[in-house]
Structure 1
């Protein structure tokens, strides 16, 4: 049996579905759909040098990798590789081949610091360490059963606060872009991010196939977006995911993030979604507290591993 690595074939639906299947088996806490995978491959900014790779054994896709430069970070030379192998197809060399191909691609484009998320399990961590990576920060995956009774009651907005959906932005989502740029730059992370390119944001985020504009909820203060909770949905599986929740700096401490997320979760449940997913850096204690209040439970954790190249 021979394992080989190649690029994903975005025009081959079966190939993309196999990639999505591997990702779902290895990391079921994130929404993986063929349309979303193709969208990311087609619409990520060219400066990211983004690639999707598959490891194939005798015609069967058993491993996957998504590889890119952190093009939107003010710190140059950072490359990211996230590699997942089917849990029932490990110890065949697929992971090592994907690491090698990913590192070669990133270093060829100037990366001097490599970062990878690794599931917080002994075998996965040992694999990363064998390849010269050291552990950095951690994050949690969280899950909420929307069919249960843990969701807090729906709250009415206080005076002066209006809740709207992202669908109200129509073809001019720039105010939402500005809010996203401010809140994302303040998120705990070992990769600083700056959203400065509106057109790229529109292509990568506003037009993302998983984005549910009706369920994405925005709190307005004096006619301007002040907080939001971004919803991604997969109707085929009944799963809803919070892609981002944040509040503008001038409006923090007023409970607006909790207000928008609560409204979005209630609307998701009313629309028939049964499972809510999200993720938080362990350093984001305010958001972890909010999610605990909603009834989310930690279902898995991951560790960022880093390799500095000399």
Structure 2
């Protein structure tokens, strides 16, 4: 007989999505998740990779959720990424431990050797970090979150920067304006992969197919094409990336009411000209013209060049996000 005041079960899709999204938003208020976004992420899961979800139900209401699956950013058959979230009103009842144990059992049967998750130094994550550390998880990587509000930035201070960049035969063109380019998606897919080779992530990135990448990136309803810019050099005609030599994207978290920067990068051949900075300024100006708002960005600790650039633009550090890892079966 189950003496626990809650039960664990697999979710019913899509019926449970609204309650799952509510639990996740309550547990992680700095990154709220809508029902629509959760549904989109679920639909975009790569069927070639393993993924499983467990919910905890109490008194007819979902109060906890856990997920674990292959780390599709750094895929290895034995490596998994996941997380456990419990509604703040339902904590200290063994719900998180029960979900965690079941997730561990499931991936253990699959021969998992390494698990990864993320947590921040915000106050609402303190208990979660303690939960992980008591179970042997260790911090393996740090990523810094910074933010600025366009209302607090003198965008005219960057006039010379934009003029200098564009005087060098480079145009800063929005993704929206490039929608008529039949090669846009293919060029950006190749450019994204090329740029990520120089991002200090602490692991080797797994390349996604063009179809999967477009689905996750360019077709993401959170993406704001009119606020995302590509550096186009008409003198370049690379067989893979065409005239695209850099880009920066801006998305919007509707529940949180803030924008966030995705990839920002420039090809090695065009670095040292202020182009990455100009791409971000172009996005900031476009956002300001559209009414302004708060922008958040995330940079890995070793990426000092980008961190310094963001500080120069006016971004201020707000949080540290830790990547935790757990080695299983005696793995070093």
TM-score by length of 1: 0.87
State the distance in 2 between where 1:105 and 1:76 align.
14
In the TM superposition, what whole-angstrom CA distance separates every residue of 1:132-172 from its partner, at most 9, and x where no partner exists? 21221111222222333465545333321111112214464
User: How big is the alpha-carbon RMSD for the aligned residues of Structure 1 and Structure 2?
Assistant: 2.6
State the distance in 2 between where 1:31 and 1:184 align.
27
State the distance in 2 between where 1:288 and 1:276 align.
15
- The secondary structure found in structure 1 opposite 2:305 is helix
Is 1:262–2:281 an aligned residue pair? yes
Aligned to 2:301: 282
Matches within 5 A, 1:170-189: 170=180, 172=183, 173-189=185-201
Deviation of the 1:215 alpha carbon: 1.3
Aligned to 2:258: 239
Whether the aligned pair in 2 keeps the contact of 1:51 and 1:68 (CA below 8 Å) is yes
Whether the aligned pair in 1 keeps the contact of 2:149 and 2:292 (CA below 8 Å) is no
- The secondary structure found in structure 2 opposite 1:118 is strand
Deviation of the 1:260 alpha carbon: 0.8
- The secondary structure found in structure 2 opposite 1:279 is strand
Deviation of the 1:21 alpha carbon: 3.1
Deviation of the 1:75 alpha carbon: 4.3
Aligned to 1:162: 171
Whether the aligned pair in 2 keeps the contact of 1:143 and 1:297 (CA below 8 Å) is yes
Give 1:202's match in structure 2, choosing from 214, 222, 230.
Answer: 214
Structure 2 portions without partners, runs of 5+? 237-242
Structure 1 portions without partners, runs of 5+? none
State the distance in 2 between where 1:70 and 1:186 align.
20
Give 1:126's match in structure 2, choosing from 117, 130, 139.
Answer: 130
Whether the aligned pair in 2 keeps the contact of 1:181 and 1:194 (CA below 8 Å) is no
Residues 1:283 and 1:24: Cα distance change in structure 2 (over 3 Å): farther
State the distance in 2 between where 1:41 and 1:114 align.
20
State the distance in 1 between where 2:75 and 2:256 align.
38
Deviation of the 1:236 alpha carbon: 6.5
The more displaced of 282-291 and 81-90 is 81-90
Aligned to 1:92: 93
Aligned to 2:321: 302
TM-score by length of 2: 0.82
State the distance in 2 between where 1:85 and 1:210 align.
25
Is 1:2–2:5 an aligned residue pair? yes
Whether the aligned pair in 2 keeps the contact of 1:240 and 1:273 (CA below 8 Å) is no
Aligned to 1:69: 70
In the TM superposition, what whole-angstrom CA distance separates every residue of 1:237-292 from its partner, at most 9, and x where no partner exists? 54211122122233233222111111112212222342212212212212211221
Residues 1:229 and 1:255: Cα distance change in structure 2 (over 3 Å): same
Deviation of the 1:72 alpha carbon: 5.0
State the distance in 2 between where 1:38 and 1:50 align.
14
The more displaced of 24-33 and 276-285 is 24-33
Residues 1:174 and 1:52: Cα distance change in structure 2 (over 3 Å): farther
- The secondary structure found in structure 1 opposite 2:112 is coil
Deviation of the 1:92 alpha carbon: 2.3
Q: In terms of Rg, which structure is larger?
A: 2
Is 1:141–2:149 an aligned residue pair? no
- The secondary structure found in structure 2 opposite 1:46 is coil
Kindly tell me the number of residue pairs found equivalent between the two proteins.
308
